[in-house]
């Protein structure tokens, strides 16, 4: 009886907001799965660089230039890390890279042409998807990939920061925000799915 009561009390205390995160797995997924993770992360950062570069090219003479330049700087650092680790581990980038080269720039350019709020609506949608994607990888990677896991955690924190800046810049005031947001989220998820496979 005492034990039962203890368990109930325990359950009450362990609400989602206070529960400690589950311990990390001791080992990571198979090397093929980790290679797939690296390939898709590289593709995602490549796409992010192209999006921000296009937005900066179009909005570079506006008050948004410094913000966009700073975010682009982060994305270039993220991409450099994955460029390096792909080379070190002998992992080929996705064959779709030329597609992301064009599609990323086009997405950045079109949203920037539609105006500052739409440019930031794009940021929110893309960064939310990347946040979820990196969170999943952080959970999957084990102690044997501690360095990679640490980097992904750092990059994820910066992606969240980008999303928060975009929200402060009133991304949600973009015309047709829910439609644009859903479309970009769906496109980003499709890009992740494809890049992890080919």
Binding region for Fe ion (CB under 5 A) = 45, 48, 75, 78, 159, 162
> Is 25 or 135 the residue whose CB approaches Fe ion more closely?
135
| Rounded least distance, CB 102 to Fe ion, Å | 19
Q: Token digits for 141?
A: 């990677």
Nearer to Fe ion, 58 or 71 (CB): 71
Q: What's the CA angle centered on 109, arms 103 and 114, to 5 degrees? A: 125
**Nearest Cα to 55, choosing from 152, 137, 135, 166?**
166
Measured from the CB atom, the residue of 74 and 118 that comes closer to Fe ion is 74
Please state, in angstroms and rounded to a whole number, the distance separating the CA atoms of residues 135 and 152. 8
Side-chain half-sphere exposure of 106, counting CA atoms within 13 A: 8
152 vs 180, beta carbon nearer Fe ion: 152
Indicate the helix (H) or strand (E) that contains 95: none
Closest residue to Fe ion, based on beta-carbon distance: 78
Scanning the structure block, which residue is given the tokens 């896991």? 149
Least distance in Å: CB of 48 to Fe ion?
5
Kindly state the smallest distance separating residue 12's Cβ from Fe ion, in Å: 38
């Amino acid at each position: 009886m005492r034990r039962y009561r203890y368990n109930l009390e325990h359950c009450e205390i362990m609400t989602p907001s206070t529960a400690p995160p589950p311990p990390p797995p001791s080992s990571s997924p198979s090397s093929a799965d980790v290679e797939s993770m690296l390939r898709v992360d590289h593709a995602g950062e490549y796409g992010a660089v192209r999006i921000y570069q296009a937005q900066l090219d179009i909005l570079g003479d506006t008050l948004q230039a410094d913000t966009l330049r700073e975010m682009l700087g982060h994305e270039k650092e993220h991409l450099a890390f994955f460029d390096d680790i792909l080379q070190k581990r002998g992992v080929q980038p996705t064959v779709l890279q030329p597609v992301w080269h064009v599609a990323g720039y086009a997405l950045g350019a079109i949203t920037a042409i539609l105006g500052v709020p739409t440019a930031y609506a794009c940021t929110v949608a893309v960064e939310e998807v990347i946040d979820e994607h990196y969170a999943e990888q952080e959970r999957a990677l084990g102690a044997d990939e501690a360095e990679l896991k640490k980097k992904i955690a750092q990059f994820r924190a910066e992606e969240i920061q980008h999303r928060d800046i975009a929200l402060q810049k009133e991304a949600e005031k973009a015309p047709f925000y829910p439609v644009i947001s859903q479309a970009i989220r769906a496109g980003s998820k499709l890009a992740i799915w494809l890049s992890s496979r080919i």
